[in-house]
Structure 1
Amino acid sequence: MTVQFLLDKMAELENQQAVAVGSNVITYAELLTKYHAWLKWIKEEQIQPGEVVSIKSDYSADSISLFLALTHNRNIIVPLSNDSKAHFDSFCDIAQNQYDIILGDGPVTLVRTNNQPNHELYQVLRGRNQPGLVLFSSGSTGKSKAIFHDLSQLLNKFTVPRKMMRTLAFLQFDHIGGVNTLLYTLANGGTAVVPAKRTPESVCEAIDTHQVEVLPTSPTFINLLLLSGAADDADLSSLKLITYGTETMPDSTLAAITARFPETKLLQTYGLSEVGILRSKSRDSKSLWVKVGGAEFETKIVDGRLWIKSESAMLGYLNAPSPFDEDGFLDTGDQVEQDGEWIKILGRQSEIINVGGEKVYPAEVESVVLEMEGVEDAAVYSIPHAITGMVVAIEVKLNTEETLSEFKVRMRKHCSSSLQQYKIPRKITLIDNYTHNARFKRMRKRS
């Protein structure tokens, strides 16, 4: 699959708004003009098909049109958002990019490296004569992995027409969710709205200004949005759908967001960088039960863990062994509860805390603690214990003036009505900063 079907759609809707960044709105005709200018530039700079090219930029009309032009040129693209700046050197060392394209407020910067990338997976893709995509995992469960996709396979799922929507580009385009949002929006003639910053205030302002219909985000950001009160100062009546994924949603946060936006549909999404984003259907807006799948996916549950097989699965990791079994299934590592065709995500197997043989899911404990007045954020982890092996510990961010001793008494009293004793945190630490990373994903301590 080439990028041509996207270009054809853009040509059909040339007067439709394609990208809105602040007050600057770009039509599909203008986006196509930028795309053709990039094609000319790529030819002038003699960037050849199959070469590895990084784009260091956040969302903009330039970065989007450049992404399309490099796809057309069948390059291996390494998108790197500014949120990942601290990791640029290590990521580029793994990807072995031959060119860095740096976009900002000024002229484009092109840096040629001396890399000669010959990874066997790169050779496989070059043999197919297709574009590639390198994404990096968040590293929330360890070292970041370099995930390598045949981009043509990712494009395949967007050939089926779906709804035209005005969507907030919240997840960056170096995230599988951000790539999914961008390609879906372009394939269906929608508008990608880029907030000035990924803060509750800027997001609400962008929704209000550009009449955004879809907000794809994470449970952590939803919690920040609720705490900020920013929604009270903007008109968010255009918002039809809030989708959430990337981490387990606390029951308390879901209850709060559905109460705050009773007319807006809530949809849980599910996907992994390794296999792409599955189609999903929530039982209802207030439920964490979800159906996942789609024509190009197969799922199965083995020993309570979700396994996925995907037509658009990655070719493999650039810096780790293949995780697929002999039948092409990937163990997601996510423990699930099953009710017929519905599943409920409980949490990662690697994050389960074993307290004397009893399982504790961090998300369950966090959800209960987040119900408490004055609690802005909470992250559960484990610490060693001489008798039970492990016990539960928690970091908490408060907006009250309580001492640690006062909060311990209040928290344990609150938790005792909802949690079994072995699930109640034994160690409590008060912190000043939020526990999420730049992708608004909760980062728990590793024991």
Structure 2
Amino acid sequence: MLNQFLLERFAEQGQQPALIWKDQEYSYRWLLEQVGIMSKWITAEGLAGQLVTLEEDYSPYAAAALVALLGQGCIVLPMDRYLVEAKREEYIQLAQVKWRLGVEEGKLCIRQTCELSGEVPVLLSSLIQEGGVGGLVLFSSGSTGVSKATVHRADRLLHGFRRQIRPLRTIPFMMFDHIGGVNTMLQSLSSGGCLCIIADRSPEEVCRTIEKFRVQALPVSPTFMNLLLLGRNDEGYDLSSLEVVSYGSEVMPESVLAAWNRRYPQLRTIQAYGMSELGILPTRSKEPGSLLFSIQDEGVKYRVVEGELQIHTETAMIGYLNAPSPFTEDGWLRTGDEAVLEQGYIRILGRRSEIINVGGRKVYPAEVEGVLEEMECIEAAVVSGEQSGITGQRVKVTIRLATECTLTDLRRSIWEYCQDKLPSYKIPQKIVITQGALVSSRMKKIRKPMTSIPFVSAGK
């Protein structure tokens, strides 16, 4: 079985807590028993090695179900239990999944059997035919456009968790169907750690959980870190147990990292690097507060070609279901991240798909956002490109205000504040004020066209 090494480690931990959910502890012995029960059910239902969904949020039962399904060689599409039905149906039709699974009253069950409208995609059918290798299909956040469906071999993906780390109490912050969420869950359980599951992803709930359960590790996004800084939600809580915060999933603005390190100088703050296509790679920052990092895995090679970071690793996905292959002819994954190498370290500049081209000059949204979010009147800013007949594109920013301000006053304040911090072509030419959300459920900034956001006012 693919999960045999996990089962052995669960047995070694015995009564040690594996998960805390709804203020109740669940031991590794309990987890081992649940995996066994669910594995027998999977076999009895004839689902071993088949393509299935697992539509859940974090819970001890969902964790046991994922381990059991992968162990039985299933190809699993994890889906957030609260994903909108239209998006859920889109994913099911794309992969041609017949069985939709979930957990009801503590038992893994078939929620629905779907009628297939076409043939199972070649990538998935080839995994099924191999038998026993299992698979994982993950969808990107789609924050810059259409979600891409990445296909991983479970045997390769699970192999990466044989490497144990120091067991810690960790909040699984990233979503259950996100590569970061899967990584946090499997890394913690394979190392004898304890997952402290939060009721929601608000700064208040995260701080409450850290205090109550003496959480030691917190993997989050830069957007969440900024929200915590702005809201000062930590002031009423004891966060002294927290040792390490790792951030990833989007570019970190220098201003946010500097403010974070000023507020929490005692924490070890680490830049993680990962994506749906790669998994999460072990990294080391050059120094505290630095945006430079190196990848700490002998099995991973990296290079920068024409400004793009490329990575070669055996744990990379085998391909997309709905997009062209991103691999070079010699097997390197084109990450889509603009990057530079500085003294052997990597610096991520931004996603290629997000770069704004103003008259041939590059503008990285995160750089501009980092400057704007230093302003007291701005709660959050999302920068994007807009077509221009003169320069090809111009810089547009959509803003949520922290204090009341007219568009005219905001435009003047932005110009005055940015003059000595950004070249003129990077200063936003179009400013939109909104009361809508600028952050997705995955705590990432939404950069695709925000047609659903209610605009208060706009100006050129």
Q: Check the 8 A contact 1:14/1:28 in 2, yes or no.
A: yes
* Equivalent position SS for 1:158: helix
**How many equivalent residue pairs?**
446
Deviations 1:267-326 (A, max 9, x none): 001111112212111122311111125122111111111001111111111122222111
Letter aligned with residue 14 of structure 2 = E
Which range is displaced more, 335-344 or 191-200?
335-344
Pairing 1:114–2:115 present: yes
Q: Which amino acid letter does the alignment assign opposite residue 76 of structure 1? A: I
Match of residue 46 from structure 2: 46
User: What residue is the counterpart of 2:26 in the other structure?
Assistant: 26
1:78 corresponds in structure 2 to: 77
Q: Distance in 2 between matches of 1:68 and 1:108?
A: 12
Quick one: which of 234, 254, 258 aligns to 1:255? 258
Amino acid at match of 2:124: Y
Cα distance in 1 for partners of 2:449, 2:172 equals 31
Query: Does the aligned pair in 2 maintain the 1:83–1:438 contact within 8 Å?
Result: no
Q: Identify which of 363, 367, 370 aligns with 1:367.
A: 370
1:297 matched residue in structure 2: 300
1:424 aligns with 2:427: yes
| Cα distance per residue 1:87-120 (max 9 Å; x no partner) | 1111111122121113366876522223375322
Match in the other structure for 2:165: 162
| Cα deviations by residue, 1:4-50 (Å, 9 ceiling, x for unpaired) | 11110010001111011131110101111211221232233332x22
Q: Which residue of 1 aligns with 2:383?
A: 380
In structure 2, distance between residues paired with 1:357 and 1:24: 57
1:68 aligned residue? 67
Distance in 1 (alpha carbons) for counterparts of 2:449 and 2:406: 26
**SS in structure 1 at match of 2:84:** helix
In 2, the alpha carbon distance for the partners of 1:337 and 1:400 equals 37
Distance in 2 (CA, whole Å) between partners of 1:361 and 1:231 is 31
Contact 1:296–1:312 (CA under 8 A) maintained in structure 2: no
Query: Residue 441 of structure 1 is aligned with which of 438, 444, 449?
Result: 444
Aligned pairs for 1:183-262 (under 5 A) are 183-262=186-265
Does the 8 A contact of 1:9 with 1:187 survive in 2? Answer: yes
1:188 deviates by 0.5
Structure-2 change in CA distance of 1:190 and 1:344 (3 Å): same
Q: Which residue of structure 2 aligns with residue 346 of structure 1?
A: 349
Question: Does the CA-based 8 Å contact 1:370-1:377 persist in structure 2?
Answer: yes
In the other structure, the counterpart of 1:91 is 91
Among 271, 277, 281, the alignment partner of 1:278 is 281
Q: Which residue of 2 aligns with 1:56?
A: 55
Q: Relative to 1, partners in 2 of residues 1:104 and 1:400: Cα closer, same or farther, differing over 3 Å? A: farther
Worse-matched range after superposition: 277-286 or 96-105 = 96-105
Does residue 1:102 correspond to 2:102, yes or no? yes
Corresponding residue for residue 150 of structure 1: 153
**Is the contact made by 2:61 and 2:106 (CA closer than 8 Å) also made in structure 1?**
no
CA distance in 1, matches of 2:7, 2:234: 36
Question: Which residue does the alignment assign to 1:174?
Answer: 177
| Structure 1: distance between partners of 2:131 and 2:24 | 39
| Structure 1 gaps, min length 5 | none
Deviates more, 1:232-241 or 1:317-326: 317-326
- Aligned equivalents of 1:175, 1:412: Cα separation in 2: 38
Decide whether the 8 Å contact of 1:377 with 1:434 is kept in 2. no
Measured in 2, the distance between the counterparts of 1:22 and 1:235 equals 20
Check conservation: 2:173, 2:201, Cα contact below 8 A: yes
1:47-83 deviation digits (Å, cap 9, x = unpaired): 2x22111111100010000111111211111100135
**Structure 1 contact 275–309 (Cα < 8 Å) conserved:** no
Q: Is the 8 A contact 2:56 2:176 kept in 1?
A: no
Deviates more, 1:291-300 or 1:106-115: 106-115
Report the CA distance shift for 1:97/1:444 in structure 2 as closer, same or farther (over 3 A): same
The whole-number CA distance in structure 2 between the counterparts of 1:129 and 1:392 is 50
**8 Å contact 1:379–1:443 — kept in the other structure?**
yes
1:9 maps to 9
Equivalent residues of 1:97, 1:117 under 8 A apart: no
CA contact (8 A) 2:72 2:132 kept: no
Residue identity matched to 1:114: E
Distance 1:292 1:57 in 2: 32
> What's the secondary structure of 2:161's corresponding residue?
coil
**What is aligned with 2:35?**
35
Look up the SS of the partner of 2:218 in the other structure.
strand
The alignment's TM-score, normalised by the length of structure 1, stands at: 0.96
CA RMSD in angstroms comes to 1.7
Cα distance in 1 for partners of 2:104, 2:283 equals: 36
- Greater shift in the superposed pair: 4-13 or 429-438: 429-438
Q: In the TM superposition, what is the alpha-carbon distance from 1:387 to its structure 2 partner?
A: 1.8
- Return 288-297 or 71-80, whichever deviates more: 288-297
Q: Is the 8 A contact 1:293 1:299 kept in 2?
A: no
1:76 & 1:395 partners in 2: Cα distance?
Answer: 40
Displacement of 1:389: 1.6
Q: What secondary structure sits across from 1:157 in the alignment?
A: helix
1:193–1:210 CA contact under 8 A, matched in 2: yes
Partner residue, 2:458: none
The amino acid across from 1:28 in the alignment is Y
Alpha-carbon distance, 1:146 to partner: 1.1
Q: Residue 413 of structure 1 is aligned with which of 413, 416, 420?
A: 416
CA distance in 2 between partners of 1:154 and 1:85 (Å): 28
2:127 aligned residue: 125
The alpha-carbon deviation at position 446 of structure 1 amounts to: 4.8
Q: Report percent identity of matched pairs.
A: 41
Deviations 1:167-203 (A, max 9, x none): 1111122111111111110111000111111111111
Q: TM-score, normalised by structure 2?
A: 0.93
Deviation at 1:252, TM superposition (A): 1.3
